[in-house]
Amino acid sequence: MTDISALKQQKQALIEQMLGLQRRFIEHEHQHGVSGKDYWAPSEGLLLNYRQEYMAMANRVVDLAHQIVGSSRV
């Protein structure tokens, strides 16, 4: 397997994790509702680290995409 193949697999795995987080968020929202306070300043539960985890994964996906094509973030 090439380095590019490994990067693509890693990127795909992160995308699948992100989709799983989105599904869990939507399910939580449908069952319990989500206020702005719940989203931006949660004190417990699913949303406690949701934004930070999702953003970290999204940034990693962008970084991997740049590595795959040989470019860089500006």
Residue 1 is predicted with a pLDDT of 56
Angstrom CA distances, 38 to 19, 25, 47, 65, 72, stand at 20, 12, 7, 32, 35
Considering the domain boundaries, does residue 38 fall inside one?
Answer: yes
Mean pLDDT of 62-69: 95
Considering the domain boundaries, does residue 50 fall inside one?
Answer: yes
Structural domain for 39, as ranges: 3-69
Considering the domain boundaries, does residue 21 fall inside one?
Answer: yes
pLDDT class for 74, splitting at 50, 70, 90? confident
Considering the domain boundaries, does residue 9 fall inside one?
Answer: yes
Considering the domain boundaries, does residue 31 fall inside one?
Answer: yes
* pTM score: 0.84
> How many domains does the chain divide into?
1
pLDDT tens column, 17-62: 999 999 999 999 999 999 998 889 988 888 999 999 999 999 999 9
Considering the domain boundaries, does residue 74 fall inside one?
Answer: no
Considering the domain boundaries, does residue 25 fall inside one?
Answer: yes
